[in-house]
Amino acid sequence: MQLNTLIAALGLFAPASALLRFGCSALTVQRLDPLVEPGMNPSTHLHQIIGGNSFNVSMPPEEHDLAALSTCTSCQFTEDLSNYWTAVLFYRAKNGTFKRVPQSAQIQGNQGGMVVYYMTDALFDTAQKSTVTAFKPGFRMLVGDSTFRDREQARNFRQLTYICMENSGTRAPEYINFPTKPCPGGIMANHRFPTCWDGKNLDSPNHQDHVAYPESGTFESGGPCPATHPVRLPQILLETVWDTRAFNNPADFTDGNQPFVWSSGDASGFSSHADYLFGWKDDSLQRHLDGHTYVSAPTLKTQSTALQNQCKVKDMVGEDIDSWLTSLPGGNPVA
């Protein structure tokens, strides 16, 4: 069954949703990266960000309590004041100029943004019976690497994928490089974060070493966490749909080429990465996960998409990201 059919059958478009599947509108799009390049304005490449409005140039964990400092969130669940971000997709025209690719929302009413999942078991496992430990205040992590450009490097990460969408319901196959044919329904970028934690460190110098993948099998198959990272976390999955429909000229897709680049300058797709700064209020996430519900989130408070769309962060960088640009923001070469 296609995911959209399943979701429709289960009524998951109702305000209370699945194993936690929820929409978040765009919060802001700007060249900031408070996890990897804190304090740098501007940072090296453009990001699209969702979540709480305490997002800022610098968010040191010891001073910056996302849940306390945010006054709104662009996400459906008002207790989720976390921030989530990815790079931004650009179209590169034959004449060498760049145009930012818009994002389309999967949840009606959302503007841009992403769909976020938190799972205790595989997506289609309606029981959602496993016990997981929610993230702690100050927890943050990065998946993927903006400098990666080839398939071997990309194998260091699991489950960072692209779907060439025929229509809004397409969920397979998944690729780890950019699709090399026009995608009539857009390109979905999927970011699945590691699901095992060392149980001690809220972060690590590379923002990755405190988390790990299951030792064998996968999160979906219930694979055990390694002894070094024994604590099983919920799996976070981010889905971003890049609305490439205005850029689907077949002439751009000849000889294995394709016209899209990440804001980092990556034309391969192997640099796909995403950042997460936990910011759920109190124990609201753990309480939800402990409820093991699949189709409802009875303990969580929700807000309308209209309110989600109103939650914004002001532009702190002040550069043009929307014209036909002669270079990517930050001047990153395509390489």
Residue with smaller CB distance to ligand NAG, 56 or 153: 56
Stretch that binds ligand NAG, among 90-98, 115-123, 253-261, 270-278 (CB under 6 A): 90-98
Q: How far is the CB of 231 from ligand NAG (least distance, A)?
A: 31
Q: What CA–CA distance (Å, rounded) separates 231 from 234?
A: 10
25 touches ligand NAG (CB under 6 A): no
Residue with smaller CB distance to ligand NAG, 187 or 311: 311
The H or E element containing residue 187 is strand 187-192
56 touches ligand NAG (CB under 6 A): yes
Residue with smaller CB distance to ligand NAG, 97 or 208: 97
Q: How far is the CB of 69 from ligand NAG (least distance, A)?
A: 6
95 touches ligand NAG (CB under 6 A): yes
Task: Specify the 3-state DSSP secondary structure of 152.
Answer: helix
Stretch that binds ligand NAG, among 93-101, 185-193, 238-246, 304-312 (CB under 6 A): 93-101
Answer for the pair 112, 105: CB distance below 8 angstroms, yes or no.
yes
Query: Could you write out the DSSP letters of every residue in 265-302?
Result: S-SSSTT-EEEEE--B-TTHHHHHHHTT-SS--TTS-B
Burial 142-164 (b: 16+ CB within 10 A, else e): bbbbbebbeeeebeebbbbbbbb
Residues 296 to 325 in contact with ligand NAG, rule: CB under 6 A: 324
Rg (CA), the chain: 19
Query: Between the CA of residue 223 and those of 57, 194, 215, 263, 273, what are the distances in Å?
Result: 37, 12, 7, 34, 23
Number of residues that bind ligand NAG (CB under 6 A): 6
Query: Pick from 4, 41, 44, 97: which binds ligand NAG (CB under 6 A)?
Result: 97
123 touches ligand NAG (CB under 6 A): no
Token reading at 102: 């818009």
CA-based nearest residue to 18, from 302, 293, 286? 293
Stretch that binds ligand NAG, among 39-47, 92-100, 182-190, 299-307 (CB under 6 A): 92-100
Q: What CA–CA distance (Å, rounded) separates 285 from 118?
A: 9
x-or-dash pattern for ligand NAG, window 5-24, by CB under 6 A? Answer: --------------------
Query: Pick from 6, 36, 40, 93: which binds ligand NAG (CB under 6 A)?
Result: 93
What do you get for the CA distance between the two ends of the chain, in Å?
39
Residues 166 to 205 in contact with ligand NAG, rule: CB under 6 A: none
The H or E element containing residue 274 is strand 273-277
Sites of contact with ligand NAG (CB under 6 A): 54, 56, 93, 95, 97, 324
